[in-house]
Amino acid sequence: MMKKSIMLLTICMMCLFAVSANAAEKNAAEKNAEEPINWEISMIPKPTAEEIEAARWSIVLENTMGIYAYDMDSLYFPEEKNGVVNKNLVNVVVKTVFTDKELVKKMNKTYAEKLAKKEKVQYCEMLLQFNVADKTYGVKQMDVYGSKGTKLETKINNGELIPVPEKTFAEAMLEICLQTVDNTSEN
C-alpha cells in the first residue's frame, strides 16, 4: 500500500510539473508574440553615419582639381509639365571634393565670412541634368560646403543645357546616364 501511495504521489507531482511547465511556456510564447524577434546577429559592427554617407557615393574620376563622385541612388528621369517622364533626360546628384590647394585658398577667401573658425571649403554637391539624346548637360543646382558641414552657398540655375566636353567628368557622367537609360529600356 505504501508503494502505491508513493507511486500515486509521484505521478501527481509529474503531472503538476508538466502543467506548470506548459503554463510557463505559454506565457513566454504570448510575451514573445508581442515583441518581434530580433534576428540581427552579426560579428560585423553596424556602419557609422560617416560610413553610410561614404557608401552612397561612387567615384567617377580624379584630377588635379578634385575627386568626382555621384550618388548612386539619385539617378532619375524628371517628369515633364504634362506628367510624362522624359527618358532622354536624366538627373543625378554629383559631388566634387576639392583637392587643389590653390583653388581651396581662393574659395576660402571668397567664403571667408561664412566659414566657421578653422573651417575650409571642402566640397560642392550639384544636381546635374543630362539630355542623353543631344549629349548636353546643365547644372540645375549647386551647394558649396565647408569642412564642418556648413552650407556656404546655394546657386540655382535655369537648367540651360550645353554640349558635354570630351574627356571631362561630365562626359564620364553622360556614359553612366546612358547606361541607366539602356538598363531602364531593357526592363
3-class secondary structure per residue, the chain: CHHHHHHHHHHHHHHHHHHHHHHHHHHHHHHHHHCCCCCCCCCCCCCCHHHHHHHHEEEEEECCCEEEEEECCCCECCECCCCCECCCEEEEEEEEEECCHHHHHHHHHHCCCCCCCCCCEEEEEEEEEEECCCCEEEEEEEEEEECCCCEEEEEECCCCCEECCCCCHHHHHHHHHHHHHHHHHHC
Average pLDDT over residues 98-127: 93
pLDDT digits (tens, 9 = 90+) for 141-177: 999 999 998 899 999 987 689 999 999 999 999 999 8
Q: What pLDDT does 166 receive?
A: 92
Q: Could you tell me which of 97, 65, 63, 70 has the C-alpha nearest to residue 176?
A: 70
84 vs 28, residue with greater confidence: 84
Which of 156, 152, 174 shows the shortest CA–CA distance to 164? 174
The CA distance from 171 to 3, in Å, is 95
**104 band by pLDDT with thresholds 50, 70 and 90:** very high
Asked if 10 and 4 count as a contact pair (C-beta separation under 8 A), the reply is no
- Percent residues over pLDDT 90 in the chain: 45
- Retrieve residue 166's grid coordinates: 570630351
47 Cβ partners below 8 Å, 6+ apart? 55
pLDDT computed for residue 83 by the predictor = 81
- Say if pTM beats, i.e. exceeds, 0.75: no
